Each structure stands twice: as structure tokens, then as C-alpha cells.
Structure 1
Amino acid sequence: MKRQTFFKMLLMAGGAILLLPQRLSAKSSNKKPKLTPKQLARTPATKPGEVPNFASGMLDSDMSGLGPDGKPTGQRATFTGTSKANAKAEEAMAHKMKLTPEEQAILDGRDGEEKAKLMKILVQFGNIFGAEQLVDLGGAPHSNMFIGAGYMASMIKMLDQCARAGLKSYAPYTVNPRPYDVYNVQNNPKDMTLIYEGYPLQKELDYVHVRLGAPDLNYRTCACYLDEVGNAPEPGTYVAWAESSAVNYGNSVLGIRTNRNGAGMDLLQAMLGKAPKFGLMTDEGRQAKWLVEIKTSKEPDWGVIGTAIGRKVVEDIPYITGLDQYFEGGKVTPDNLHLLKAMGSATASSGAVGLYHVEGVTPDAKKLGRKLLVEGYKTYIIDDEEQKRIVDSFPNLWPEEDGDPTAAFIGCPHNTYHEVIKWGKMVTEALDKAGKKEAAIPVYMFMPNKVRDRAIKEYGELISRMKRAGMHATNMCSVSYAGMKGFSERVRGVTNSAKTRNYSSIRYFPDEILVKIIVTGKIPQGT
């Protein structure tokens, strides 16, 4: 069976399992819901057996889909971390997962109607992917349900009904950043109008999160594992995370065990405190099919090699060598974790990588070494020539290709404390050297509020200088900003984030070039 055919069947199967009767059902997927925020909470129940229009979305990790060749473009994969090119959907549908007496009692309605329906969805979900059992979750979940757009109405309604029934996450959980910031970024009438028209259900979604167990908005971030935010479960912990870059970092650097959950499936598992054990949650599902050898003559461009790896392995797991020299003693610290954050998020956005191993650095690799490689693994070498080939392949997607840049975007995934201070010093020192007080273009620094607050407390003078120079701290999502209606026609953006480049019209430049662009407002000749 061709990969593209399998994924189409998989999505159909996903829709079939979500036949939620009574209160958890939504209108047929043939028509998009047209609910106002006030209507959302009081829409009457519909007949049993209708397919909710959010069903297929629960199989997506982030926001993308399949390319013309049938391969995942970055976000729609199979949650397993390995290729399912030869899988058959009809065989998966015949699988039956074993339940404990406790789990069966929940399914039979002992703990209420809503919880029984959630368990039914989870069991069917596990059956599709061949899970043998459910496992208890630990740590804390992370959700990528962050966009209050109209097309999310039925999903938000389902979660609202769960909240009204008194269901909560088994632990307080973190959530991706909001898709906008009308205080520091889109603080103009045109952008604000587009935002309020495009995200009419944001308040309803935020209200759902509060009741299900999410903390306040200061903890919103795609980089939930940062010390300032604190969602970093112990190695080996089963968790339910969504957001491709967080899943990627969590599995790889923290050593947790989570699949690439789709929006909604993360919270469903959180409310039950259980997840089907398959894919990246199993020992066999964490084995590497690729040996990737980094042989650049100097420190690589982390986002570029991440893009190269993602394009090559797609959703398979790579075992990467040649990077341990950049982590003293093989330790990932607050001062260097941004390197793996940049590389990993690029593997997840240019491909669909949910886990990678770095020899001598990441937990699984330290424990098992090259025993993680499967028999007959493939080898991919990234040297200077290959790195340059990848950079040269990045297209210029600006409508006005020769135009001057109008804004810089730094922090996707969200900046660490170390990155904020580093960029503050680099830009202000470059401005001083050029005899300037203000950057030639606005610089948007994306970070959690918790990181911003720490930076203000410990480097108040530098943060004040950054603000005067035109560097704006914001806790929103840069990709959401770049996805606004008419963005590419209005903004010629530049970034050092390969993930942002993979998802938008914003052009990619390495740090040293980006600093020059910020100071001069021009792209250097020959770049």
C-alpha cells in the first residue's frame, strides 16, 4: 500500500472512532460550525453516531499535512516515530487492546458518562495503532490547543462539556503560547481587527484550560521544559505531550516517553491519566534506523543540520554522532540546550521526527549507545558541502524578492534565558559599534513571560537598553504571527529559526548575518 493511501485511510479510521453520542457529539463534519462565543456553551446535543468535524485533527501533531509525494511535510505522521509505509489500516482496526478491570469499569460508565466516552475514544485510538495496553501517565502534560479559531468550535465545545462535568487533568499542565499579542506586537488597528475576527473563541478556549488544570498565561510557551516554566518530567516517564518541538525535545533530551499527540488527544489522555503504549513509548519504537554523522569543519549551523536530518529521515529516528564535542562532559545545561532545541525543532518541522539520539549526550544514547541502531540501518553524512547544499535550497518566498527586510523574528521555539541575554548583548554592542541607538528594523523576541521576568530582574539595565533599541519581548507564537492573513504581503521577515523558515515566508540567516541585518536594515551582498 502506498504511504499516501495509508495516511488517507488512517484519517478516515480516526474519524470513524470518534462517533461521540449525546453531549460529546458535534454537527456533521460536512458543515463547518458557525457558532458565536455565546452560542458555544448552549448548543443542544445532536443525535448519536454523527462524526465530529474535529476527528481528523486529533491525528495531527501541529498544523501541516502531506506533500504531493505522500510523505508527511512535518506534522501529520503516525505518532510512532517510524515509517508505516507498509501498514494496512484494516488490520489495525481489527486489533483489540487489553484493559485492566479498573479501565474496563471506566469504559462501562462507573465514573460517569463523559469519562466513559473519553475512554472509548482512547481505546479505539490505541487499537488503531496496535497498542497492547494503557499506561498510567506521570509528570505533567503539554497541550498545543492554543488557537481559538472558529474551526476549533466543536473541539472546544467537547472540552467545555468535560470541564462542566468536573473532569480535570491528572496534573497541572502547560499550554502553547497564544497566537497573538496585542500589547507588544500587533498593537495597531488593522492587526487587532484581523486577530479578533480570526480568533473569536480565544476566551472560551482559555476558560477551558483554566478549568481543566492549566496555570495562568505567564506559563504559556512551546518550550515548557525550560527551568523557568518547569515542565520537565524525569527520564522514562510516560506523558501525553503535543507540539512537535516539545515532543521532540522531551523524548530526546529529557528522555520522557510520549507520542506525537494531536490537538485534543493530549487533553483527552490528560483527563484520563492514561495513554496507549505504542510507538515512541516503547523500547522497540525508540530504536534508530539512521546513523547521521556530523562532519563539518567547525560548529554546525544547528537549524540547518536539523532541516537536513528531517528531510532525510522524515519520521524515522536518527542516531547522531559528532556533536558531543559541543557539550562539555556530555551535559545539556541551561546555557547550551538551545543548540538541541534549534536542531530538534528543525527535524520535526522539515520532517516529522519525534525522537533523536545524540551519541554521548542524550539519555537513551548514554545508556545504550549504538545498540539503539537497528540491523541494516542507513547512514547519512553531513559535511560542509552538504550543509551548504541545504542552505542553498532555502527559497526566497518574499513577493518582493529584492526588497529590504522589515522585521526580525527570534525565538522559535521560544527563547531560553541564555538566548535572550546573548541576543541583547549582541545587538546592543553592534549598535554601539555602528554609532546607533536603535535597530534599523523592529526585533521581536519570543519568550515565556517567566523568562522575560527573570531577565528583567537579573539584567534590568540590558533589557531596558534592548527595549530602547527596538527589541520587543513577546510571549506569543511567531509561527502564528507569520500565518496571519496578508502577512507575507505586508512583512518581509528575517529569522535565525529553521522552524520559522520551514513554516512561513520568513527568510533564514545565521546569527552573525542576522545581527548585521538588524543594525543596517539591509541584507549583505552575496548572502
Structure 2
Amino acid sequence: MKRHQLNGQIGTDPNFVHATHTGHSKANVKATDAMPELKLTPEEQDIMDGKRGELLQKSIKTICDYGRLFGAEKLVDLDCAPHMAMSWGSDGVEPFLKIYKQLADAGLKTYAPFTADPKPMDFDDLPMTKEETDMANKIYNRMDELEEINLSLGMIKGYWSCACYLPQMGNTPKYGDNLAWSESSAINYVNSVIGARTNRNSMGIDMLCSILGKAPYFGLMTDEGRKARWLIDVRLSKKPHPEMIGSAIGMKVVEDVPYIIGMDKFIPEINEETAGYLKDLGAATASNGAVGLYHMGGVTPDAIKYGRDLLKEGYQTYVIDDAELKRIYATYPNLWKDQEGTPERVFLGCPHMSYGQMVEWGTRIVDAMEKAGKKLLNKPTYFFGSALVRADFEKRNPEMVGKLKDYGVSFAINCPMMWCSTPVSGSERIATNSNKTRVYTTARFFFDDALIHLIVHGELPPVAERDTINFENK
């Protein structure tokens, strides 16, 4: 699909045609006979028979048919809370809006209060020209309708973020929890870093599962489906940038489950700092490929518990060394109309930044500005994060936040990827630290040091310097 072919609607996933969204690539899928009906509990059978109303009956029929397509034999109860990927109201999602409104009008609610991905625009903190504003309002013309419906169905007011699992957001599942989420980066994080279990569900399916409190049991929810078909052998001289190694893995395995070795010397444990690193690594695998789960030897919970028993018989091996990361980086296209132009804005955070990442980037910018003796940024710079993470950052770091705002740093709560996806906004030259934003938009990915140089001095470092930079995150 070409970008903007849907007049700016989100949904043109460049990897969609390569993925089954079950954690297993098309190369490993074999045709089977039609699957039998799912084995339902008496309660579920009552819903199927219409004893709980027509809408619940339609809902369970839909998710059972969905499950049968992928070999599910039963439904499982859902834990924690739902999270929805559909955060934009537009004519392009009208069928979903109609279904959701029917559910809301019937008084139905999700099994627990839910969170949702960030809105496409933040008119307060990410100013737009009149032309851009008019275009955004034309495309996302049903935002109020979506928000009203979501609140009726059980959404927590104001809880918009793709990183809903962060402690400030509170939608943090436990190890082994069953979920029915649809945001690819969040799915990747909770499956991999926390050890919860969810498939890469589509919009609509996520809501119907959440209304029922049940999901079909297959794929990444099963022990067998969580086994790895790839061994990723990391042989790097230095700690890799998470966006780069995630990109390399995603491009290679597409959506198969990888088991990564050689990273535990760089990531000895999961804590607040390393969780942000793993968040970005996983998001890159999920966008540059379609990975819903990765295991990291000695680091992630399933890998610690089961070790190499997670590798399937006949697994393939992919070696990542310094030369391979440089090769991957060299393949990234420059989609700017003026390919030699200077970036106009700097976008940091996609997925949304964690508290620790705001502190890290804030510290680096303040230090660089003070070292250069600068009073104002030379490029508009935006931290993207949830309103709750931003509030926590501001509360705990008032001096740093004051300096950042004086320099001209803005804190936006919307989705940078969607902001870049309108025909007008998409023509801007955006520099980003996010490989996900790079994949879905015309934004260009740059390493952290190059972005700091751009923010402070208003221009990128020389090409040779920025393109041969080491692959560390710092």
C-alpha cells in the first residue's frame, strides 16, 4: 500500500501483507481442514445461544470464528485490563464506530476499565499551521464521537498512551496474564518483558473480546506458540542502539518468535532504565517486522525460566555484528522531497517516552545547551509521552523541566506517527529517534548524538560523522 492512499487514514501497515499476526510467518503456515467448533463452558454456550442478548451473541460468534481460523479450541478469561489501538475517529473507521455505539447504547462495558493509544493530534502542545489544522480536522473528524463512545464502554478519561503498561498509566499486567490487546508495541512489551500473553489482535476483535472478557486461546497465548524459530546471536563490540538491533531482528524474522543471546552483558536485568531500552527494541521489531514476542537469554522472564528449551527444533540462526547493523542502517530510505534539506523538527518518543527516558533526554539536552552556552534550541523539539508520565516528570524534576521549557522543548501527548501521516504534516522534514516513526512516515531516523547536535546547533553533524557513529544508545 502507498502512504496516503487512504487520504491520510492510518492502517497502511507496510508489513501487513507479510504477516499472519499469529507469531508465525507465512512460510511456516500449512493449510488444514476446517477446525471444529470451540469447546465452550456452559456460561459461554448460554451467550452463544442468545440467552444474554443479541449483541453478546454476535460478539461471541465473531471471536469464536476468529479463533477457529487460527486453530483455537477454547476461550480463556482475560486478566488485568484492556488496551485499545483505535485512538482516531474518522470516516475510515466508521464500521467500528457503529459497532461500538451499538454496544454502548445497550449499556455494555468492558470487563475492566481500559486505556487507549494516544490521539493523533495535540493542538495545545504541538502547534500546527491553519492548513495543517484544517487537514487534521478533516481527516480525524469524529474524535469527539470516538471519545464519547469509549467513555461509555469503560475507558478511563485521559488515559491515552501506547505505553499503557508504564507505572504512571497503571495498566500493567502480571506474568502469565491473558490479554486481548491490539497495539503492536504494547503487545510486544507485555509478552516479552513482563511475560503476559496476548496475540496481535485487530481493532474490533480487541473490543469484542474485552466486552466478553474472553479471548480465543491460540498463538502467542499458548506455550507452544511462544517458542522461538530463530536464534539471534548478537556479536557486537558495544551496546547496540535499541532501535537498530530491533530493526535488524524485525526485518529478518518478520513475525516469528526470536530468542536473542549475547545481550545479557549489556542488559543485566530489567529495571526502569533497561525497561525503556527493551520497550524501544521491541517496538522496532514489531514495526520493522511484525514481532509480537521476543525472548532475551538471561533477561526476559520466559527466557530466565525456560532457557534454550524455548527454541523449536530446526530453528534458524541470525548473527548480528557491527557490520550487519551498519548494513541495515544503510538500507533506510530518505523520503524527504528535499533529501539534502535540514530537519525542521525533532520528535522524541514513539512509543511514548517513559519517565526514565524523559530524564535521560532532558539531562542530555540541558548539559549540551549549557556546554554550548545556548539559551534557545535551534530546532523545535518535542518529547512525546502520556499526560501522566509528563506530570510525574514535571513534579519530580521541576528545575530540569523549567530549563527545558525555557530552551523551547515542548511536551506533547499525541501520537507522532499519526501526526506525520496527514498529507500536509507528512511533507515536513522530521528527524526522530524512533524506528517505528521512520517505518510508517517520511520521518528520518538519526542516532542520539546526531539529534543532540541538531537540537543545539540547528544542523546535523557531517554525514561521515553521523553515519559512522557507534551503535550505543548513549
TM-score (norm 2): 0.93
**Amino acid paired to 2:112:** A
Look up the match of 2:11.
63
2:184 corresponds to 1:244: yes
Q: Structure 2 residue aligned with 1:457, among 395, 399, 402?
A: 395
Identity percentage over the alignment? Answer: 45
Q: Structure 2 residue aligned with 1:492, among 411, 414, 429?
A: 429
Instruction: Give the conservation status (yes or no) of the 8 Å contact 1:75–1:352.
Output: no
Look up the match of 1:140.
81
Structure 2: 5+ residue stretches without partners: 1-5, 467-474
Q: CA-to-partner distance for each residue in 1:212-241, whole Å, 9 max, x for gaps?
A: 111011x21000111111111111111111
Instruction: Give the conservation status (yes or no) of the 8 Å contact 2:253–2:289.
Output: yes
Counterpart-to-counterpart distance in 2, 1:210 and 1:99: 30
2:33 corresponds to 1:95: no
Look up the match of 2:357.
419
* CA-CA distance at 1:86 after TM superposition: 5.7
Instruction: Give the conservation status (yes or no) of the 8 Å contact 2:283–2:351.
Output: yes
**Amino acid paired to 2:454:** I
Counterpart-to-counterpart distance in 2, 1:250 and 1:237: 9
* CA-CA distance at 1:323 after TM superposition: 1.2
Look up the match of 1:349.
287
Q: Structure 2 residue aligned with 1:305, among 245, 255, 273?
A: 245
Worse overlay, 338-347 or 95-104:
95-104
Instruction: Give the conservation status (yes or no) of the 8 Å contact 1:241–1:258.
Output: yes
Question: Which structure 2 residues correspond to residues 208-247 of structure 1 after superposition, within 5 A?
Answer: 208-217=149-158, 219-247=159-187
Q: SS in structure 1 opposite 2:156?
A: coil
Counterpart-to-counterpart distance in 2, 1:79 and 1:137: 19
**Amino acid paired to 1:417:** Y
Q: SS in structure 2 opposite 1:216?
A: strand
**Amino acid paired to 2:184:** S
2:22 corresponds to 1:80: yes
* CA-CA distance at 1:87 after TM superposition: 4.0
Instruction: Give the conservation status (yes or no) of the 8 Å contact 1:409–1:494.
Output: yes
* CA-CA distance at 1:164 after TM superposition: 0.8
Q: Structure 2 residue aligned with 1:123, among 64, 69, 77?
A: 64
**Amino acid paired to 2:215:** A
**Amino acid paired to 1:103:** E
Instruction: Give the conservation status (yes or no) of the 8 Å contact 2:231–2:316.
Output: yes
**Amino acid paired to 1:222:** C
2:238 corresponds to 1:290: no
Q: CA-to-partner distance for each residue in 1:113-152, whole Å, 9 max, x for gaps?
A: 1111111111111111110100011111111011101111
Q: Structure 1 residue aligned with 2:91, among 150, 155, 171?
A: 150
Question: Which structure 2 residues correspond to residues 154-233 of structure 1 after superposition, within 5 A?
Answer: 154-217=95-158, 219-233=159-173
Instruction: Give the conservation status (yes or no) of the 8 Å contact 1:74–1:351.
Output: no
Counterpart-to-counterpart distance in 2, 1:215 and 1:286: 31
Q: CA-to-partner distance for each residue in 1:275-311, whole Å, 9 max, x for gaps?
A: 0000000000000000001111011111111010001
Q: Residues 92, 182 of structure 1: CA spacing in aligned structure 2 closer, same or farther, 3 A cutoff? A: farther
Q: SS in structure 2 opposite 1:229?
A: coil
Look up the match of 1:483.
421
**Amino acid paired to 2:413:** N
* CA-CA distance at 1:74 after TM superposition: 5.3
TM-score (norm 1): 0.84
Q: Relative contact order, CA 8 A, sep 6+: which one is greater?
A: 2
* CA-CA distance at 1:256 after TM superposition: 0.5
2:452 corresponds to 1:504: no
Look up the match of 1:397.
335
* CA-CA distance at 1:92 after TM superposition: 5.9
* CA-CA distance at 1:422 after TM superposition: 1.2
Look up the match of 1:380.
318
* CA-CA distance at 1:63 after TM superposition: 2.8
Instruction: Give the conservation status (yes or no) of the 8 Å contact 1:75–1:351.
Output: no
Counterpart-to-counterpart distance in 2, 1:87 and 1:512: 42
* CA-CA distance at 1:517 after TM superposition: 1.0
Q: CA-to-partner distance for each residue in 1:167-202, whole Å, 9 max, x for gaps?
A: 111011110000101111134322221121111111
Instruction: Give the conservation status (yes or no) of the 8 Å contact 2:91–2:141.
Output: yes
Counterpart-to-counterpart distance in 2, 1:477 and 1:92: 42
Structure 1: 5+ residue stretches without partners: 1-31, 33-56, 67-72
Q: SS in structure 2 opposite 1:111?
A: coil
Q: SS in structure 1 opposite 2:26?
A: coil
Counterpart-to-counterpart distance in 1, 2:214 and 2:150: 19
* CA-CA distance at 1:447 after TM superposition: 0.2
Instruction: Give the conservation status (yes or no) of the 8 Å contact 1:431–1:519.
Output: yes
**Amino acid paired to 1:500:** T
RMSD: 1.7
**Amino acid paired to 2:258:** P
